[in-house]
Amino acid sequence: MTLETPPATRTCRLCGGAVSEIFDFGRQPVSNAFVKAEEADGEAFHHLAVGICSSCSMVQLSDELPREAMFHDDYPYRSSESALMRRHFEEFAGNLVRTELTGPDPFVVEIGCNDGIMLKTISDHGVRHLGVDPSRGAAETAAAKGIDVRVDFFEESVAREIRQAHGRADVIFSANTFSHISYIDSIFRGIDELLAEDGLFVFEDRYLGDIVEKNYFDQIYDEHFYLFSLHSVRAMVERFGFELVDAQRLAVHGGAVRYSVARPVARKPGTALARLFAHERDLGLTDRVKLARFGVNIRRIRHDLVALLTELKAKGFRVAGYGATSKSATVLNYCGIGMDLVECVYDSTPEKQGRLTPGSHLPVVAPERFAADYPDYVVLFAWNHAEEILAKEQAFTAQGGRWILYVPDVHVLGNGGLAAAA
């Protein structure tokens, strides 16, 4: 089955400029649609390609999926599954309380609050808040922690209703969500409606610079409609009457940037902006020709990964995956990897267990079964949590197990460092 989507116009969703293709990943499933075995035949697929706008330099997907197809009541991702991410958001929320939420009755709104990983700290400090998330399952998890949540897609009409009920927000925050939303115009009109005159809109997302520089091609999937750079973010916010006042590089998710946006003249721009703009010019993040070289690296990684897995299979080794991530959908389907090469994927998210990975249909298995019958090799799809996972699974490595990573290139990690494939 193919999702009913409008034909790709190849024009920029933001400014209407011409979008030139950088790379085509072909036919892909909905990245977070982990299916039951009996539903696999009716799975939805779409076309995945990425391009750059010649006018505003925004890197974006060519085709847009209906938001309801990606974000729904059963959306399985839970941010709090990662201890690293819990610490990350606890630290950020604590900093907000100390620096931005010092007035008599501050108010915070989070766009895409998921299971309340950030707002829990805000709530614990007694600060008025509201999370907005379309996933009822995630929102109920947040509400169980005492967090105020509205189950909805954030847009202009929703922002107006929030303002009428709660007043203006001192801070509007969004993490790993803003790049998911193609209809940015409605979002910014909502932010304009809701944000206090001296308020701050802060969002963090995967960074195009890291994706290109480190070959993180699996960061490209249906949910990541935009791949932000400083240049494209500046053009975007200025288009809607705002100003980019700061940017901070983050180590999470393999490389992200936290952008701070305010009304013009409300804040003094930070000194880090000039350095990051210069870095992007060196990388060529606004140059389609330079970005197209990224495609050469992607094809090389596909060849090397499939060749390695095929060799291991021929030699009788067992290979599994670790981390049934959204990213893994791009890797598995672009590379054509199925159960002939990888027997299953271990993942700690209960909502994914007992289901099949999108498109490739690998069984998703609870991690408790990992130690019961170790495979010989494991493809680490959740490579952005490598430090956390390798520390947790030291016994696997100690008994001779080896980890396969495919970014920035295909390599094998064993006990004591890099190891040969066989």
pLDDT one-digit tens code per residue, 162-213 = 999 999 999 999 998 899 888 899 999 999 999 999 999 999 999 999 999 9
At 115-154, the pLDDT tens digits run 888 999 999 999 999 999 988 888 889 899 999 999 999 9
Chain centre distance of CA 394: 27
Cβ-contact 168, 199 below 8 angstroms: yes
- For 218, 231, 251, 325, the CA distances from 257, given in Å and listed in that order, are 18, 12, 9, 21
Contacts of 366 (CB under 8 A, 6+ apart): 346, 347, 348, 350, 353
Tens digits of pLDDT across the chain (422 residues): 554 444 344 899 999 999 999 999 999 999 988 989 998 888 889 999 999 999 999 999 988 887 666 665 565 656 677 788 889 989 999 999 999 999 899 999 999 998 888 999 999 999 999 999 988 888 889 899 999 999 999 999 999 999 999 999 999 999 988 998 888 999 999 999 999 999 999 999 999 999 999 999 999 998 899 999 999 999 999 999 999 999 999 988 888 999 999 999 888 888 889 999 999 999 999 998 889 899 999 999 999 999 999 999 999 999 999 999 999 999 999 999 999 999 999 999 888 999 999 999 999 999 999 999 999 999 999 999 898 899 999 999 999 999 999 999 999 997 644 444 44
Beta-strand ranges (E) seen in 17-83 are 19-29, 45-53, 59-61
**pTM of the predicted protein model:** 0.90
Domains in the chain with CATH codes: 79-289 (3.40.50.150), 306-418 (3.40.50.720)
Distance, in Å, from the CA atom of 29 to the CA atom of 41, rounded to the nearest integer, reads 12
Torsion sign, CA atoms 389, 392, 396, 398: positive
Cα(first)–Cα(last) distance of the chain, in Å? 39
Chain centre distance of CA 341: 26
Distance, in Å, from the CA atom of 154 to the CA atom of 189, rounded to the nearest integer, reads 11
Helices (H) and strands (E) in the chain, counts: 13, 18
In degrees, rounded to 5, the angle at the alpha carbon of residue 197 between the alpha carbons of residues 191 and 200 is 60
Exposed/middle/buried for 414, CB within 10 Å: 0-12, 13-18, 19+?
Answer: middle
DSSP H helices, 65-110, are 67-70, 83-99
